[in-house]
């Protein structure tokens, strides 16, 4: 299991020893392997860039040139509930806005109710609407509307997943190493980016020591304008143990219909 394509920057870090091991039989891992090839190799030996400068290392697999020519013009997977979630978000936002708009009128309209009762009613209406909108946003946040397999210029393949924010703006997350996608216990999601990873024995023998203190970008999330808003980064330590952390705001969880993946 060798990383297919990872961007790397480095500033030495002290890491703790981890005992976590990931099961090779997880459901999303098997499905990802059905979409992406898993035989990869390094183009060049690992090296340490200058401190503080973000660089990108390209890892290559035995990619088919014909596949690279048709690399991602169309989505290979489209979420069947995309329009349903879109309508639900619109309805939820509309009801929330209406609640905030009408709440002040409870204090203007003449009524026998005391101001304490009016305040309680307004608070309940606004709070309930806000809570329901937040719940819809939380449930819909991981839903993948489109999934693509990118393979540009014969380089390693990248998994690109598109989600939508509460305000219906697309957010694209590129996972440079799909092996970091594992099963999740989060409701309304199927996959998540792993927090800890162990290098395979094949890489440990050749690169284990060279990777100590090196950080690699596993995934990046882009907003609707194409700007990076978050990264998922792995820091490699002793014995090939890596610990991941978030920089910015990255989409970590993904909800896909696994039965629709080829």
User: In terms of Cα–Cα distance, which of 140, 164, 158, 173 is closest to 250?
Assistant: 173
pLDDT in tens, 73-99: 467 899 999 999 999 999 999 999 999
Average pLDDT over residues 190-204: 88
Confidence of residue 261 (pLDDT cuts 50, 70, 90): confident
pLDDT of residue 243: 94
- Rounded to whole angstroms, the Cα distance separating 5 from 38 reads 11
pLDDT in tens, 38-74: 333 332 333 333 334 343 333 433 334 333 333 444 6
- Terminal CA-to-CA distance of the chain, rounded, Å? 21
pLDDT in tens, 113-171: 898 999 999 999 999 999 999 999 999 999 999 999 887 555 567 899 999 999 999 99
Can you give the residue ranges of every domain in the chain? 7-80+144-260, 82-140
> Does residue 13 carry a pLDDT above 90?
no
Residue length of the chain? 262
> Does residue 36 carry a pLDDT above 50?
no
pLDDT of residue 172: 97
- Rounded to whole angstroms, the Cα distance separating 225 from 123 reads 36
Q: What is the mean pLDDT of the chain?
A: 76
Q: Cβ(46)–Cβ(215) under 8 Å? A: no
> Does residue 1 carry a pLDDT above 60?
no
29-33, 44-48, 258-262: range with highest mean pLDDT: 258-262
Those residues with Cβ within 8 angstroms of residue 26's Cβ, 6 or more apart along the chain or in another chain? 182, 183
Q: Cβ(75)–Cβ(147) under 8 Å? A: yes
Q: Cβ(146)–Cβ(80) under 8 Å? A: no
């Amino acid at each position: 299991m060798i990383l297919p394509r990872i961007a790397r920057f480095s500033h030495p870090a002290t890491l703790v020893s981890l005992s976590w091991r990931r099961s090779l039989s997880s459901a999303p891992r098997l499905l990802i392997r059905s979409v992406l090839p898993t035989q990869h190799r390094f183009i060049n030996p690992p090296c340490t860039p200058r401190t503080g400068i973000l660089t990108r290392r390209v890892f290559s697999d035995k990619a088919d040139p014909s596949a690279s020519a048709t690399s991602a013009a169309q989505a290979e997977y489209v979420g069947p509930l995309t329009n349903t979630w879109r309508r639900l978000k619109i309805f939820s936002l509309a009801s929330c806005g209406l609640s905030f708009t009408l709440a002040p009128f409870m204090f203007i309209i003449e009524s026998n109710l005391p101001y304490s009762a009016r305040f309680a009613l307004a608070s309940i209406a606004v709070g309930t609407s806000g809570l329901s909108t937040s719940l819809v946003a939380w449930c819909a946040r991981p839903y993948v509307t489109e999934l693509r397999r990118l393979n540009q210029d014969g380089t390693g393949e990248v998994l690109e997943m598109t989600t939508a924010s509460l305000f219906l703006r697309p957010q694209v997350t590129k996972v440079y190493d799909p092996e970091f996608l594992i099963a999740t216990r989060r409701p309304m999601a199927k996959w998540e980016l792993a927090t800890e990873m162990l290098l395979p024995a094949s890489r440990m023998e050749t690169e284990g020591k060279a990777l100590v203190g090196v950080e690699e970008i596993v995934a990046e999330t882009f907003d609707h304008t194409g700007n990076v808003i978050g990264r998922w980064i792995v820091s490699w330590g002793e014995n090939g143990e890596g610990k991941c952390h978030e920089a910015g705001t990255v989409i970590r969880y993904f909800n896909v219909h696994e039965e629709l993946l080829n």
